[in-house]
Structure 1
Amino acid sequence: MSFYEEVESKWKLEKPIYEALGSEVQVFLKNEILRREVFPEITYRTKDLLSIIKKIERKSIKKNYSYDDLKDKLGLRVICSFSNQLEMIDKIIHENFIVEKAEYKKDDLDFDKLDYTSNHYDLKINSLKILTEKEESFKNLVFELQVRSINQHAWSSSAHTLTYKKESEIPSNLKRKVYRLLSLYEIADDEFSNVNIALQQEENGMAYRYIRKLEGKIYRFAKVDFDRQTSLWKLKVFFKPFDQSEQVDLINQVSAFVDNNEKKLESIYNEYLRDFHRFPSLTQPEIFLVFYMLENYESTLESIYANELDNNELEKIKGIWA
């Protein structure tokens, strides 16, 4: 059997197992990150046969390298909105997987070096956490996980398109241009995080402040994203009867209300999980304000719906909460 036939035969047997592992880990990671009230983009892919053969041939030039040495037959990628969320995801990974190798690009990067900053891991399933009896075939498989912010991912994709891997491969006359480009991505990453924090503290942006405070609860309970324009419009309507200081109190009270009613909310969302198309309000963060007002400001809420919104929607929400 030739080298090519041997690799093809092995991959034909292993690929479905890695596909199943990728699906399992994707779901597990998404649920764990959503529980921390962050909405990630998580994808996975198994390496195609041609890429496997090319990588073995390329690696074999400098050292002995075989099919069994490949660590990225399965690769997963987590992309989060802000760079300051990477630390939280790193904690999830170390708590729930066997970390064979962790590489933090930013820590290894000198100030004058050219590369994107993201976290790379070689992992195994932790049998105590997510391995079930029917998935014994997963136990010893190593797979790759990359965790990046949106801007880190944008830079990585651009660098891949430019087809360079190492700084030494870039002609000297172009290095300055690439340095400038990379600096823009890094500045954007930092500034997006800073602006996000600042907007949450902005006294005049109560609707935005509410969304930032409560959007994580939607990720946690509904496990879907929401329509921001709808939220901004409805929240302005709901906030009208309250002055600014009352609005600040209201946001904090709703957040505490959600925490205090965690079990009830989990029960509601489990019951309506497959019916969000019939009850879309359940997928918007302002629903928690409505639930809170049903308990504390019912007459005010009824007046708002009677004058500016849809009474039928309120009746549906009353039925759900009751």
Structure 2
Amino acid sequence: MGLSNEEISKQYRERETLYLKLIEEVKKQLNYLLSEKDVKLAFPIEARVKELQSILKKCENKNLELNNISEIGDIAGFRIIVLFRSDIEIVSQILKENFEIFKKEDAHDRLSENEFGYSSVHFDATLKEEWCSTPTCKDLKDLKMEIQLRTASQHIWAASSHTLQYKKEEQIPMELRRVVNRAAALLELVDLEFERVLIERENYVSKISENDENEVLNIETLKNVMDKMFPPENKEADEDYALILSELYSYGIKNLNDLIEIIDKNLDYAVKRDKEYVNKVLTSNSDDYDMEHRNRAKHGIYFTHLGLIRTIMRKDYPKKQYTNI
């Protein structure tokens, strides 16, 4: 005989704080790990601790007989929603390397031909042993969690079908089946076309030639030149290349040759100014510099790539001024 509702409730209350701590720690680490691999999310990571009533209802609906509440694997739950289908494999690998995965399931694989569902990958996991050796995580050992991984299109379908309760084709009014099928197909097509954009972009970038002086500046040619010519440590994760491009256009810099010439001419000056600002920040006791600038200065940098290009342009066009470098 399994636990009574009263015993389940008692165990839940005893462990609720631990589960809340678990989702806080794991969410923080997931954000760090994804940022390290430059994975862009469609939405912030979702994290929740399942409410007691939901657990009791699940036990009732599925006739679960628990010996311990820890047998429920999704009390702590996370959802990671990525932009591109190819990111699914990248994030899956991150999870395999950093968590103890004891079960992985692609929801699409369990659907029959007449069932609706837009696949997401589910991981049942616990923290790795080395995580639990740290003071902040030592009491979280063996706590189970579920991590769902899907694309934005998959998320739209999951949310929509949940609201409509369209799980199986025979449950849908005949008059609506065609439009529902079409909606599902369109969302799948969105995923495929986004992936095609990535592939086409990679092909384009691989063909960029700095020797073509008439090559028009665009987002990709600009990124290519800046990545090659500027110090990598100054680059921010989310450089605003569209803003940089519009400012360069305002100076009349519209092709590769003009950009490369002015960077060649003034890059040493910009790097020197960067170091001067680093020294200013590190020796200043005033509130003139915010925490972000102070943190960057501690690593020996001040300007982002946007800041460097603005410094370079000001050298030749001193009357034009921009802020927020």
**TM-score relative to the length of structure 2:** 0.69
Tell me the equivalent position of 2:31: 30
Aligned partners of 1:150, 1:212: CA distance in 2, in Å? 26
Please give the alpha-carbon distance, in whole angstroms, between the structure 2 residues aligned to 1:100 and 1:185: 30
Corresponding residue number in structure 1 for 2:308: 291
Aligned 1:259-270 pairs, distance under 5 A: none
2:315 corresponds, among 299, 302, 311, to 302
2:53 corresponds to which of 46, 50, 54: 50
CA deviations over 1:249-289 (Å, ceiling 9, x no partner): 999x9xxxxxxxxxx9xx99xx9883369x9xxxxxx9325
Greater CA drift, 80-89 or 206-215: 206-215
Amino acid in the other structure paired with 2:246 = W
State which of 62, 65, 68 in structure 2 corresponds to 1:59.
62
How far does the alpha carbon of each residue in 1:189-215 deviate from its partner, in whole angstroms, 9 at most, with x for none? 111232344356377774422687689
> For the residues of structure 1 that align with 2:186 and 2:176, how far apart are their CA atoms?
16
User: SS at 1:141's partner residue?
Assistant: coil
Taking a change above 3 Å as real, the CA distance of residues 110 and 228 of structure 1, as seen in their structure-2 partners, is farther
Instruction: Give the superposition deviation at 1:227.
Output: 5.9
1:99 and 2:101 correspond? yes
Q: Does the CA contact (< 8 Å) of 2:239 and 2:306 recur in 1?
A: no
The residue type paired with residue 275 of structure 1 is: E
Match of 2:243? 230
The alpha-carbon deviation at position 11 of structure 1 amounts to 1.2
**Which has the larger share of helix?**
1
> SS of the counterpart of 1:85?
helix
Change (3 A) 1:308 1:292: closer
Mapping for residues 1-322 of structure 1, pairs under 5 Å: 3-40=4-41, 41-60=44-63, 64=65, 67-106=69-108, 114-129=116-131, 132-167=134-169, 169-199=171-201, 201=204, 206-209=217-220, 230-234=243-247, 236-237=249-250, 240-241=252-253, 243-244=255-256, 274-275=291-292, 287-288=304-305, 290-291=307-308, 298=312, 300-304=313-317, 306-310=318-322
- Structure 1 residue runs of 5 or longer lacking an equivalent are 254-263, 280-285, 318-322
CA contact (8 A) 2:240 2:306 kept: no
In structure 2, relative to structure 1, the CA distance for the partners of 1:84 and 1:235 (3 Å cut) is farther
Deviation (angstroms), 1:111: 7.4
Q: CA RMSD in A?
A: 4.2
What is the identity percentage for the equivalent residue pairs of Structure 1 and Structure 2? 27
- Cross-structure match for 1:283: none
SS at match of 1:50: helix
The CA deviation at 1:241 is: 3.6
Number of residues of Structure 1 aligned to a counterpart in Structure 2: 280
**CA radius of gyration, larger in:** 2
1:233 aligned partner, one-letter code: S
**Partner amino acid, structure 1, of 2:255:** D
Unpaired segments of 5 or more residues in structure 2?
209-214, 265-274, 283-288, 297-302
- Cα distance in structure 2, aligned partners of 1:227 and 1:38: 17
Contact 1:43 1:77 in 2 (8 A): yes
* Equivalent AA in structure 2 for residue 190 of structure 1: L
Task: Quote the offset at 1:108 in angstroms.
Answer: 5.5
CA distance in 2, matches of 1:211, 1:144: 41
